[in-house]
Amino acid sequence: MRLPSRFSCVAAFWLLTQSVSAAAQPVPASAVDPQKEARLAWFRDAKYGLFIHWGLYAIPAGEWKGERVPGIGEWIMNRAKIPVAEYERLAAQFNPVKFDADAWVQLAHDAGMKYIVITSKHHDGFALFKSPASRFNIVDATPFKRDVLKELAAACAKRNMRLGFYYSQAQDWHEPNGAGNNWDFVPNAQKDFDQYLRDKAEPQIREILTNYGPVALIWFDTPQLMTPERARRFTDLVRSIQPQTLIDGRLGAEGDYITTGDNIIPGGKQTQAWETPATINHTWGYRKDDVDWKRPGEIIFKLLDIVSKGGNYLLNVGPMADGVIPQASQDVLREVGRWLRINGEAVYGATATPFGDELGEPSARGAKDVRGEPLFLVRTDYRVTAKPGKLFFTFFLEPRVPFELPAMKNAVKQAYFLANGKPLEIVEKDGTRAFTVRRPILDPLGTVIVVEFEGDAVMR
């Protein structure tokens, strides 16, 4: 099933505004901020995180008053123009008795994910935490009365899992002066947006940074009406309470890392830290009619593609209204996790490919993509990730026989399968070095060959 996607427009918007280019842009030494680099160290190593979109929208799950509402599930209030007074009544029905923070964290752990980011408040304005700033929250407005962030923070602390909070700083359809709701309230241009920031968004950011232990990152989103001055207030607030907390790329000012458009993976490697937020089906918040899950092989390819370009993959699940993450999405994630338990060395702490030809190439005919950008023809045979003295070649298709290593000046010490340590003979001929992988390929989800070389870094 393909949902008529409004997020593709959003993705295009982000792509245009954030200009994640196909080629790596070297960062001049003078531009490197040591404090920022220190904050980013865990993020650069982690590579793979679990995004969780959960809120009242999981109850209608894509349907309102018996009618299917197209689009992403968490946008149902906007798409169906549901009045605040009516939407608020969902809170009285929200009683996710099967919610089990330990089970969610266990899933992320089994999946091989190193951090979790959950929607503390999405555009509908509903908070998953007890908030003195607004009674429209899970403790004060629902029969459930439990603080989800508190339970998740405790579960994450037990398992050494980093926890970050998504927070919709600008769009808040519940508030007369929040951005986005023009069906109950006046258009954005006539709103007192600073009143909303002062009375809800800024106090709630303070709350989530104060009451739940160390916060790995704040994931701001859709910065409508965010002037540089307003964004600065959020940056100062975050830094003043938890200086180590990362800020994503959608605050409305430069964050600690670049956030690409939804489901967008840049064509080439990037030197700045970056992250792709992505759906496992076609929605973020749960929709009962979207069961088009990505397959484990697709996810593994995307993960390696992203890591080989220096980025992180933040892959989303949408729990149901009873608190359970759909079993089929759990199964997919756990299968990826099984692959990572064997091959994780090629991912965690790995850096981008020192090569790049394997990623693909711009269309020689000068073709353009749907956004009018130069078309990049992606190659999917294999990806390369690196660590000092080691290259990891992850093959998704049978490699050519023999497979020639890309040119580099370093001496090669040895090559072997990551999964079982079996050596591969390196044959030198006419200045090239090659190995032959027997068919069928060891693991069709991704077969990793480690090539160890002299020195720390590849010299070309």
Contact set with ligand FHN (CB under 6 A) = 7, 10, 72, 74-75, 221-222, 262, 277, 284
Question: Quick one: 15 or 300, whose CB is closer to ligand FHN?
Answer: 15
Single-letter amino acid code for the residue at 139: V
CA nearest neighbour of 110 among 349, 348, 338, 345: 338
- Give the CA-trace dihedral at 57, 337, 302, 247, to 10 degrees: 60
The single residue listed with the structure tokens 């090559």 is 415
CA–CA distance, 420 with 240 (Å, rounded to integer)? 48
Helix (H, G, I), strand (E, B) or coil at 335: helix
Q: Cβ of residue 313: shortest distance to ligand FHN, in angstroms?
A: 13
Q: Cβ of residue 121: shortest distance to ligand FHN, in angstroms?
A: 11
Q: Cβ of residue 10: shortest distance to ligand FHN, in angstroms?
A: 4
Q: Cβ of residue 108: shortest distance to ligand FHN, in angstroms?
A: 17
Q: Are 383 and 399 in contact (CB under 8 A)?
A: no
Q: Are 433 and 427 in contact (CB under 8 A)?
A: yes
Single-letter amino acid code for the residue at 151: E
Question: Quick one: 264 or 342, whose CB is closer to ligand FHN?
Answer: 264
CA nearest neighbour of 344 among 383, 299, 392: 392
Q: Are 442 and 399 in contact (CB under 8 A)?
A: no
Helix pair angle (202-210, 228-241), 10° resolution: 20
Using left for φ > 0, alpha for ψ between -120 and 50, and beta otherwise, residue 456 falls in: alpha
Q: Are 52 and 118 in contact (CB under 8 A)?
A: yes
Single-letter amino acid code for the residue at 36: K
Strands 360-362 and 376-378: antiparallel
Q: Which two tokens stand for residue 455?
A: 């020195």
Question: Quick one: 19 or 210, whose CB is closer to ligand FHN?
Answer: 19
Helix (H, G, I), strand (E, B) or coil at 137: strand
Task: From residue 201, give the alpha-carbon distance in Å to each of 120, 130, 344.
Answer: 11, 14, 38
Question: Quick one: 296 or 318, whose CB is closer to ligand FHN?
Answer: 318
Question: Quick one: 7 or 293, whose CB is closer to ligand FHN?
Answer: 7
Question: Quick one: 122 or 230, whose CB is closer to ligand FHN?
Answer: 122
Q: Cβ of residue 72: shortest distance to ligand FHN, in angstroms?
A: 6
Question: Quick one: 222 or 410, whose CB is closer to ligand FHN?
Answer: 222
Task: From residue 360, give the alpha-carbon distance in Å to each of 22, 205, 372.
Answer: 10, 41, 18
Question: Quick one: 56 or 449, whose CB is closer to ligand FHN?
Answer: 56
Q: Cβ of residue 14: shortest distance to ligand FHN, in angstroms?
A: 6
Question: Quick one: 275 or 305, whose CB is closer to ligand FHN?
Answer: 275
Q: Cβ of residue 156: shortest distance to ligand FHN, in angstroms?
A: 21
Q: Cβ of residue 122: shortest distance to ligand FHN, in angstroms?
A: 6
H or E element in which residue 414 lies: strand 412-417
CA–CA distance, 397 with 91 (Å, rounded to integer)? 49
**H-type alpha helices, 111-260:** 138-141, 148-159, 193-196, 202-210, 228-241
Question: Quick one: 172 or 221, whose CB is closer to ligand FHN?
Answer: 221
Q: Cβ of residue 228: shortest distance to ligand FHN, in angstroms?
A: 21
Q: Cβ of residue 207: shortest distance to ligand FHN, in angstroms?
A: 20
Helix (H, G, I), strand (E, B) or coil at 63: strand
Question: Quick one: 224 or 272, whose CB is closer to ligand FHN?
Answer: 224
**CA dihedral sign of residues 54, 59, 65, 71:** positive
Q: Cβ of residue 143: shortest distance to ligand FHN, in angstroms?
A: 26
